[in-house]
Amino acid sequence: MRVQIAIIGAGPAGLLLGQLLARAGIDAIVIEQRSPDHVLGRIRAGVLEQVAVDLLDEAGVGARMHAEGLVHEGFELGFNGGRQRIDLAGLTGGKRVMVYGQTELTRDLMDARAAAGLPTVYGAQDVSIHDFGGERPRVRYLKDGVWQEIVCDFIAGCDGYHGVCRASVPQGALSIYERVYPFGWLGLLSDTPPVSEELIYSSHPRGFALCSMRSRSRSRYYVQCSLDDKVAQWSDAMFWDELRRRLDPRAAASLVTGPSIEKSIAPLRSFVAEPLRFGRLFLAGDAAHIVPPTGAKGLNLAASDVRYLSRALVEFYAGSSSGIDHYSENCLRRIWKAERFSWWMTTLLHRFPGTSGFDQKLQEAELDYLVHSTAAQAALAENYAGLPF
């Protein structure tokens, strides 16, 4: 089989790229190792920057998001028993974010792909990529016991952190930058109304907590936990008790609890692999970088890579290789700013085991600075709402 672009991975990055390319008349196949249900089973942050919302509109998949998503003009920082609102819209000249679950977004992209009859292979085993140093890259995989081979112009590696694409780059061609944090997030999803209209990021001596939501009747909460913790050790009741302790009294009193629909522990990591292009292979999304979830930049960064890549490929087929030549450096400029912001917000709000009193005092001073300085709030708001392209 021959296509212009072989996209490896049907997460948000791969599906969004496929959609943008299809609208530009470029033919692509998406090859995914898992089943659609498995892909939809992953629960991840759901806060979209305006630029990501615009890109989804451009891809023609924004209708349900606009109908069901929640537009937020601010969020709150909880500490010292109180809360400080960060007025995103007021501090950024009107920018807002869209709270819309990544599962729903992925479903919309899957539905659009199916409705347009675009080729997608789920359940592809032993995917491997070849010859991306030359002009005729190839992708091989096993499907229903039969080996398949695809010849293409370019391979888009949208196969996440554990994917095969980054792993196929020759040793020594990649520079890896990484920080692993000494704690995790225990997340719980429940069909209960959110504790507050806006998200609350809470810093507490017992550890960080986050109150988020998927809709007006479905909430997503997190508490910082130890990396040694196991989900089975945390009953729902223990989770709710711990969350309540880490919130201010007003939020704690209005927290509505209920049975969990999902509960999981995620480690926190900052990771960047450079560059993002090797000949005719491009990495995009989690395949190239990971941020800790504080600030919800993961999906937004994936969207930003895909924006650059889709435009670069459209330009290429129109006769210019400038976009693909600058793909890596364009992406990395935004990636590193989002890495910096996610690291900063993580460091500001979590308790680090074994930290000195000095570090603790710095955290307190930074929060106090945020309360009293509009400039500091504006810097936070500008990054949270999303930096311009």
User: Which residues are annotated as catalytic?
Assistant: 72, 201, 293, 297, 384
| DSSP element (H, E) containing 180 | strand 175-190
33 binds ligand APR, rule: CB under 6 A: yes
Nearer to ligand PHB, 13 or 20 (CB): 13
Q: What is the CA radius of gyration of the chain?
A: 21
Q: Which residues sit opposite 317 in a β-bridge?
A: none
Q: Does 350 bind ligand PHB (CB under 6 A)?
A: no
**What is residue 345's three-state secondary structure?**
helix
DSSP class per residue in 119-176 = -EE-S-EEEEEE-TTSSS-EEEEEETTEEEEEEEEEEEE---TT-HHHHTSPTTS-EE
**Angle formed by the axes of helices 322-349 and 298-317, to 10°?**
180
Q: Which is nearer to ligand PHB, 240 or 341 (CB)?
A: 341
In the complex with ligand APR, the residue whose CB is nearer, 164 or 313, is 164
Asked if 212 touches ligand PHB (CB under 6 A), the answer is: yes
Could you say whether residue 78 binds ligand PHB (CB under 6 A)? no
13 binds, among ligand APR, ligand PHB, none (CB under 5 to 8 A by kind): ligand APR
Instruction: Specify whether the CB–CB gap between 154 and 29 falls below 8 A.
Output: no
Question: Using an 8 Å Cβ cutoff, are 196 and 76 in contact?
Answer: yes
Cα–Cα distance, 59 to 306 (Å, whole number): 11
How far is Cα 26 from Cα 31, in angstroms, rounded to an integer?
A: 16
Task: Please enumerate in sequence order all residues whose Cβ is within 8 A of that of 88, keeping only pairs 6 or more positions apart, or say none.
Answer: 72, 73, 74, 75, 95, 96, 97, 381, 384, 385
Residue 45 within binding range of ligand PHB, rule CB under 6 A: yes
Residue 220 binding target from ligand APR, ligand PHB, none, CB below 5 to 8 Å by type: ligand PHB
Q: Pick from 220, 280, 289, 307: which binds ligand PHB (CB under 6 A)? A: 220
* Number of chain residues interacting with ligand PHB (CB under 6 A): 11
**Between 302 and 313, CB nearer to ligand APR:** 302
Helix H or strand E encompassing 377: helix 374-385
The entry of ligand PHB, ligand APR, none near residue 47 (CB within 5 to 8 angstroms by kind) is ligand PHB
Cβ 101 to ligand PHB shortest distance, Å:
7
Q: Can you tell me which of 7, 10, 188, 385 binds ligand APR, judged by CB under 6 A?
A: 10
Strand 2-8 and strand 125-130: the pairing is unpaired
Q: Which stretch binds ligand APR (CB under 6 A): 5-13, 206-214, 271-279, 347-355?
A: 5-13
CA atoms within 13 A on the CB side of 307: 19
Closest residue to bound ligand PHB by CB: 212
Contact present, 132 and 281 (Cβ < 8 Å): yes
Partner that binds at residue 9, options ligand PHB, ligand APR, none, CB closer than 5 to 8 Å by kind: ligand APR
Q: Of 186-215, which residues contact ligand APR (CB under 6 A)?
A: none
| Residue 150 makes contact with ligand APR by CB under 6 A | no
3-state SS of 22-84 is HHCCCCEEEECCCCHHHHHCCCCCCEECHHHHHHHHHCCCCHHHHHHCEEECCEEEEECCEEE
Instruction: Name which of ligand APR, ligand PHB, none residue 294 binds, using a CB cut-off of 5 to 8 Å depending on partner kind.
Output: ligand PHB
Distance of closest approach, residue 278 Cβ to ligand PHB, in angstroms? 31
Under rule CB under 6 A, residue 61 binds ligand PHB: no
Q: Does 102 bind ligand APR (CB under 6 A)?
A: yes
Does the footprint of ligand PHB cover residue 346 (CB under 6 A)? no
- Contact with ligand PHB (CB under 6 A): which of 14, 18, 46, 160? 46
1-9, 13-21, 41-49, 238-246 -> range binding ligand PHB (CB under 6 A):
41-49
Residues 298-317 that bind ligand APR (CB under 6 A): 298-299, 302
Q: First and final CA of the chain: distance in angstroms?
A: 36
d(CA 309, CA 19): 12
Residue 227 tokens, joined: 């990396």
Contact positions toward ligand APR, by CB under 6 A? 8-14, 31-34, 39, 44, 102, 124, 127, 158-160, 162-164, 285-287, 298-299, 302
Query: Where along the sequence are the contacts to ligand PHB (CB under 6 A)?
Result: 45-47, 199, 210, 212, 220, 293-296
